[in-house]
Structure formats: structure tokens, C-alpha cells
Structure 1
């Protein structure tokens, strides 16, 4: 359904230092690094599906209240690794790894990146 997702940053270098190790915990790879943007994809994907960039209007980036990007995690250990890496590289905790009440196997973790963008990683497989 979604072609891609973008989040804004005010410091692309800081975003790179955060997203490279954090998204690696889920198996995603950086495919694009330019002056104004960074793009990530699943190894088997032909295009980047997640972008971090300076806002097009050249105004300060801000996080959206109620906005969140959720990444598919291959297993529950990847969710835990995502959360730990995010905290290690400057993110903030928004919900420790664990089962959520959405269905029996909804295992997720929630964080904010250094720019305040809310992210989560979710595994929907049984342990």
C-alpha cells in the first residue's frame, strides 16, 4: 500500500549515525547517501522505502504529533536489538519491547529518533 515514508531531520550527519546501526538490527540497508537525504531498503527491495531528509521548504524539521513509522522485524530478538541500538545511538524510549494487546503475537518496541520522530519495530510471529 505504501510506496515510501519520509521523516525530516535538522542534522543529516547525526541521523546517519543513528539510523545506520538502528535499522541494521532489522536487516535494512542504506542505499542512498546524498547531501540532502538518506535512503534505506530491505536487501531484496529494488528501491528505498524509508527516507530521512532535510525538509523541502528549508524550514526546521519537526516530528508529527500522532505520526509514527513502524518497521517489520523478523523476530522478537530483532525488536529488542532495535530498541537497544536506538537508545545507544541517541534515541529515547517510548515503550520497551514486549507484547501489546493488538493480537496474541504483536511484539513491539517504540522509540524517538534524535529529531523526535516516533518509530517502532514490530514482529507479529509467534516466538
Structure 2
């Protein structure tokens, strides 16, 4: 089981605006902020800071610039197709770029509805629903 994921950011403030918008339709909110770190967790999750967070946006510990990893992607579960659509639209409206618009994968096949985007640093994320 994964405890949490960190996603490197060149600009944490800009990345925070992006992730606030993308995560809102998924029921995910800021739980922690400070020192260039922003922690996100489920709305209503108990605990504080990292105890309530599953994703952290931050500058890399080694002090080098953040860069997207080729072949690395984090996928976030949405409750329905409308939430996937909303997260994708929010991503594009807040500095993200499209890597595959909302739809069933493979196309025309029910069961996996997803959208793919890159954040302002270039990290690839997926938002999906089992519909």
C-alpha cells in the first residue's frame, strides 16, 4: 500500500493552483502548506499535515530543478465520468497540458474512463473512473 506520493515542482505556488483546481472535483483538498510543500488529502480525512495527506507537491530534496520522469505517472480515482471531465477541464484552465482527453480506454469500451494531463512542471497524471 502506498502511504503518499511526492510530485516535484519547479514553482510550488503555480503547481498548487493547478492541483487545487484538478483535485477539487475528486474530493481532495489542501491539508498542509509551508516551506515550498503542499500536502493534499481527501476532504474530511482525519489527522493533520502528512497524517491526512496522500500527495505532496514540493521542490526536490537535492536542490536540483524538478523535472518530469519519463514513464512515471500518478493516477487518481474519481467517483464518476463527470468528475474526470471536470478535473481535465480544470487542469487545462490552470496551466496544464493535454495528454489524452476524457474518454473510455480503449475507445468505445466501457469500464475505464480516463483523462491524462501534464502539470506546469511536466509531470503526467491520470484521473479515471470505473464506469
TM-score by shorter chain over 0.5: yes
TM-superposed CA distance for 1:45, in Å, is 3.0
Match of 1:88 in 2: 93
Match of 1:107 in 2: 113
CA distance in 2 between partners of 1:21 and 1:84 (Å): 9
Give the aligned CA root-mean-square deviation in angstroms: 1.4
Q: Where in structure 1 do 4 or more consecutive aligned residues deviate above 6 Å?
A: none
Residues paired across the two proteins, number: 125
Unaligned runs of 5+ in 2: 47-51
Aligned to 1:25, the other structure's residue is in SS state helix
Q: 2:74 aligns with which of 56, 64, 69?
A: 69
TM-score, length of structure 1 as denominator length: 0.93
Unaligned runs of 5+ in 1: none
Write out aligned runs for 1:15-34 (5 A): 15-34=15-34
TM-superposed CA distance for 1:36, in Å, is 2.1
TM-superposed CA distance for 1:60, in Å, is 0.5
